[in-house]
Chains A and B, each alone.
Chain A
Amino acid sequence: MAMLTYIEAINEGLRDEMRLDPTVFLLGEDIGAYGGAFKATKGLLEEFGADRVIDTVLAEGAIIGAATGSALAGLKPVAEMQFSDFVSNGFNQLVNVTAKYHYRNFIPVPMVVRLPSGGGIRGGPFHSANTEAWFFHTPGLKLVAPSTPYDAKGLIRAAIREPNPVLYFEYKYLYRHIKSEVPDGDYEVPIGAADIKRTGSDITVITYGTGVHWSLEAAETLSREGVEVEVLDLRTLMPFDRKAVLSSVEKTGKVLIVHEANLTGGVGAELSAFIGAEAFRHLDAPVRRLASPDTPVPYAPPLEDAFLPNAQKTAEALRSLAAY
């Protein structure tokens, strides 16, 4: 057991898998000597050399395509997008080449793309995006979004071992904000398994990533007000844990979905539709969503603060749902 920050847990997960499997290698912009824009790959070049921690040209399409090609050739690439925002430059590769490869050719593409996501770091419209919804809609990609150091390490390991392409959404705001015990040994957090981060009987919050922390804080507030909130951390967005969602909804009858990504057409929209279709009889209130409004992420602090959900907004949404 070691106390690790979220980003240290990612680093350790990468390191552990690279030690375990010689076909695992990393590629991306500034990930080698510089250690990554956020230092997620710090120290890995020194341990594994330039053939396994590869600094690439600044070309996201080529990075993702090269990951796909090397995966087809039998390697296990982990590509880093310097910011999740920049994955749009590699969008065609992901959605048309990578995602459709197995369906068209029955050839697995074992690769991971890491996407430093989210706001709260004063990054403005091009360094703060949450892009999961673009890919949530794309058959053939698995999407994971850890919220804790434990999950971050367990999921990066599971993602690397997964025979299908995995987009690994990691949260810049959490990188150094949270620290927790992480086992030293070999463990993985299975893809497709949600986690109840807090049990409660009155309302279910379904969330992931930064939303988990807002929700946990809000749940404590609500608990003092006599409302017990269950916080279900999806951890995997695609394929999401339908069973866990349904069983929590059946238990509480009220659902708030919280995510940092924009509201319209987000993951929450699908969850909401799914719950409406599959758990209608168990609903005691309309499924509600708390998400960022449908604008780009603004830059100036008061604007970004207004834009982002947080624990207070989550608590308010929960109160309103509790009163329904």
Chain B
Amino acid sequence: MAKIDVIMPQLGESLTEGTIIKWHKKPGDKVKKDETLLEISTDKVDSEIPSPTTGVVTRLLFAEQATVAVREVIAEIDTDASAKAESGPPAAKPSPAKGSKPAASVPAAPQPATPAPSPSPAASSPSPADAAKGRFYSPLVLNIARTEGIPMQELETVPGTGEGGRVSKKDLQAYLVARKSGGQMPAPGPAFGGAPPPPPEHSPAPAAPRIESMLKPVDGGELAKKFPQPGHEIRQMSNILMKMSEHMVRSVHTSPHVFAVHECDMTNVDMVRRRNAGAFQKREGFKLTYTPFICDAIVRAIKEFPLVNSQVEGDKIVIKKFINLGMAVASENGLIVPVIKNAEEKNFVGIARAINDLATRARTKRLTPSDIEGGSFTVTNYGVFGTMVGLPIINQPQVAILGTGSIEKRAVVIDDAIAIRSMAYFTLAFDHRILDGALGGSFMEAVVRNLESYDRNQVV
């Protein structure tokens, strides 16, 4: 009998654990290679995990809702067995867990062939033995770990820079920032919120402690006294919301926001889009929308004004040679901001394909954490909600975000004649620490020019 272990995948470099949302198979079920075996959630991203092999599921080692360290065995598939539920414990496992109540009773199942690179023990919950490991944690570090739901075994893996390798508050905070950046980023609630910040690539947010203090837990009982029912309803903020709060406040505290609103005549784009719609869909297999036009126009404008594609580091400006264009996409989890990587290398169709791919996977929960990492500029389309003019918040550590309002037919004056045109208001929110109105305006003029100068007869 060939037995294959299914392990908790690491969905992102810095991720250390995942939560099992749903098992699609139960012991005894047949499963095909690449067929969805389970859904997991890492921070905000829900991902369907395909089966690594074809066979029969013999054991599920963790129940739904269990949070499991990456690389841990979570299920076993017998590639030889026929579709018959386990008639006895698999030979390799001396004491299989009964039922699906796992965590504490899970037998350690290291694979002899692959020695674990991480020092983390197999058990996922802290045990008294953990305390005896000799590593000292300050009350604060333990407190943060508890609040953030970090099990002892994970804490053991956090690198320490303090005295004697101690994990300091800063170490843990840096770890948490990195850990979160490995997962799906929180989506902003309101359309006006702009895009949520992607994780800083190199420097964890220095302002983290201040932000953390903003969202101190409030005593629910006290609050209930102050805001009694039935006139009030008190809700716990979700992680997504809390993260959004923190990121938004941080951005506003970090960057002096300036807004430039430009009007754009989208009539030509609209014309090109409609004329090419049929052929495009036939050729590419998806609908041609306004978005690739706008993204393409932005990418070209960034090439003209590279400073908007940068970030501030102390007294230095880091200008990115690549254009990783973040794009707000509505999903059932809220807004997600997948990133079109190296957009500067893509032509119009390349950009359109990338957008379609990311949007599809966002809707079907198949985004990987790397899909939302590393943005260098963000575009947010609140026009889809009917918003005409918005004032988005910069997605730190970027220095500018472009928001697109609804495209509507308006009467405009062209050459002293009134004409009906498809118009939209675009807003650039930019960081006045390094960008001024001249640059912001010029950049926007370039975007608008790029869009308005489409030839109606262009084939895309």
- Answer whether A and B touch in the complex at a CB cut-off of 8 Å: yes
Do A284 and B210 touch across chains, with their CB atoms under 8 A apart? no
Q: How large is the interface on A (under 10, 10 to 19, 20 to 34, 35 or more residues)?
A: 10 to 19
Binds A, one of B27-35, B122-130, B138-146, B265-273: B138-146
Do B143 and A281 touch across chains, with their CB atoms under 8 A apart? yes
Do B163 and A282 touch across chains, with their CB atoms under 8 A apart? no
Do B139 and A283 touch across chains, with their CB atoms under 8 A apart? yes
A323-B163, A324-B168 are known contacts. Are A282 and B209 too (CB-CB below 8 A)?
Answer: no
* A3 to B259 alpha-carbon distance, docked (Å): 43
Shortest Cβ distance from residue A161 to the other chain B in the assembled complex, whole angstroms: 35
Do A282 and B140 touch across chains, with their CB atoms under 8 A apart? yes
Annotate B156-190 by CB proximity to A: 1 below 8 A, 0 otherwise.
00000011001011100000000000000000000
Do A284 and B169 touch across chains, with their CB atoms under 8 A apart? yes
Within 8 A of A (CB), among B200-229: 209-210, 213
Annotate B274-290 by CB proximity to A: 1 below 8 A, 0 otherwise.
00000000000000000
Shortest Cβ distance from residue A224 to the other chain B in the assembled complex, whole angstroms: 13
- Assess whether A280 is interfacial by the CB under 8 Å rule: yes
- Assess whether A32 is interfacial by the CB under 8 Å rule: no
Annotate A258-292 by CB proximity to B: 1 below 8 A, 0 otherwise.
00000000000000000000001111110000000
Do B138 and A284 touch across chains, with their CB atoms under 8 A apart? yes
- Assess whether A179 is interfacial by the CB under 8 Å rule: no
- Assess whether A251 is interfacial by the CB under 8 Å rule: yes
Do A285 and B209 touch across chains, with their CB atoms under 8 A apart? no
* B170 contact set on A, CB distance < 8 A: 202
A250-B213, A253-B169, A324-B168 are known contacts. Are A281 and B163 too (CB-CB below 8 A)?
Answer: no
* A201 to B142 alpha-carbon distance, docked (Å): 19
Q: Out of A250, A252, A280, A323, name the residue touching B162 (CB < 8 Å).
A: A323
Shortest Cβ distance from residue A22 to the other chain B in the assembled complex, whole angstroms: 48
Shortest Cβ distance from residue A164 to the other chain B in the assembled complex, whole angstroms: 33
* A324 to B209 alpha-carbon distance, docked (Å): 18
* A285 contact set on B, CB distance < 8 A: 138, 168
Within 8 A of A (CB), among B319-347: none
* A155 to B168 alpha-carbon distance, docked (Å): 39
* A252 contact set on B, CB distance < 8 A: 209
* A285 to B171 alpha-carbon distance, docked (Å): 13
Name the residue of chain A whose CB is nearest to the CB of B212. A251
* A252 to B138 alpha-carbon distance, docked (Å): 13
Do B166 and A281 touch across chains, with their CB atoms under 8 A apart? no
Shortest Cβ distance from residue A87 to the other chain B in the assembled complex, whole angstroms: 39
Within 8 A of A (CB), among B106-143: 138-143
* A282 to B140 alpha-carbon distance, docked (Å): 4
Do B162 and A282 touch across chains, with their CB atoms under 8 A apart? no
Name the residue of chain A whose CB is nearest to the CB of B164. A324
Name the residue of chain B whose CB is nearest to the CB of A199. B210
* B162 contact set on A, CB distance < 8 A: 323-324
* A254 to B407 alpha-carbon distance, docked (Å): 54
* A284 contact set on B, CB distance < 8 A: 138-141, 168-169
Q: Out of B139, B166, B168, name the residue touching A282 (CB < 8 Å).
A: B139
A281-B143, A323-B162 are known contacts. Are A251 and B138 too (CB-CB below 8 A)?
Answer: no
Do B138 and A283 touch across chains, with their CB atoms under 8 A apart? yes
Name the residue of chain A whose CB is nearest to the CB of B142. A281
* B163 contact set on A, CB distance < 8 A: 323-324
* B138 contact set on A, CB distance < 8 A: 253, 283-285
Q: Out of A202, A251, A283, name the residue touching B213 (CB < 8 Å).
A: A251
Name the residue of chain B whose CB is nearest to the CB of A226. B206
* B169 contact set on A, CB distance < 8 A: 253-254, 284
Do B143 and A282 touch across chains, with their CB atoms under 8 A apart? yes
Shortest Cβ distance from residue B107 to the other chain A in the assembled complex, whole angstroms: 35
Name the residue of chain A whose CB is nearest to the CB of B146. A281
* A202 contact set on B, CB distance < 8 A: 170
* A281 contact set on B, CB distance < 8 A: 139-140, 142-143
Do B166 and A280 touch across chains, with their CB atoms under 8 A apart? no
* B168 contact set on A, CB distance < 8 A: 284-285, 324
Do A280 and B209 touch across chains, with their CB atoms under 8 A apart? no
* A105 to B162 alpha-carbon distance, docked (Å): 55
Shortest Cβ distance from residue B72 to the other chain A in the assembled complex, whole angstroms: 30
A253-B169, A324-B162, A324-B166 are known contacts. Are A280 and B139 too (CB-CB below 8 A)?
Answer: yes
* A250 contact set on B, CB distance < 8 A: 213
* A202 to B140 alpha-carbon distance, docked (Å): 13
* B142 contact set on A, CB distance < 8 A: 281
* A252 to B139 alpha-carbon distance, docked (Å): 13
* A253 to B162 alpha-carbon distance, docked (Å): 14
Within 8 A of B (CB), among A269-324: 280-285, 323-324
Do A201 and B209 touch across chains, with their CB atoms under 8 A apart? yes
A324-B162, A324-B163 are known contacts. Are A253 and B210 too (CB-CB below 8 A)?
Answer: no
* B143 contact set on A, CB distance < 8 A: 281-282
Shortest Cβ distance from residue B170 to the other chain A in the assembled complex, whole angstroms: 8
Shortest Cβ distance from residue A232 to the other chain B in the assembled complex, whole angstroms: 16
A284-B169, A324-B162 are known contacts. Are A251 and B139 too (CB-CB below 8 A)?
Answer: no
* B213 contact set on A, CB distance < 8 A: 250-251
* A254 to B141 alpha-carbon distance, docked (Å): 12
Name the residue of chain B whose CB is nearest to the CB of A321. B163
* A282 to B212 alpha-carbon distance, docked (Å): 13
Do A283 and B166 touch across chains, with their CB atoms under 8 A apart? no
Shortest Cβ distance from residue B58 to the other chain A in the assembled complex, whole angstroms: 44
Shortest Cβ distance from residue A285 to the other chain B in the assembled complex, whole angstroms: 6
* A280 contact set on B, CB distance < 8 A: 139
* A254 contact set on B, CB distance < 8 A: 169
Shortest Cβ distance from residue A244 to the other chain B in the assembled complex, whole angstroms: 14
Shortest Cβ distance from residue A324 to the other chain B in the assembled complex, whole angstroms: 5
* A253 to B163 alpha-carbon distance, docked (Å): 15
A324-B163, A324-B168 are known contacts. Are A201 and B139 too (CB-CB below 8 A)?
Answer: no
* B140 contact set on A, CB distance < 8 A: 253, 281-284
Name the residue of chain A whose CB is nearest to the CB of B170. A202
- The listed residue with most A CB atoms (<10 A of its CB), out of B140, B142, B213, is B140
Instruction: Give 7 CB contacts A-B under 8 Å.
Output: A202-B170, A280-B139, A281-B140, A281-B142, A283-B138, A284-B140, A284-B169
Extra A-B contacts (10), CB below 8 Å, given A201-B209, A251-B209, A282-B143:
A201-B210, A251-B213, A281-B139, A281-B140, A281-B142, A282-B140, A284-B138, A285-B138, A323-B163, A324-B162
Counting from the closest, the 5 A-B pairs by CB-CB distance are A284-B140, A284-B169, A281-B143, A284-B138, A253-B140
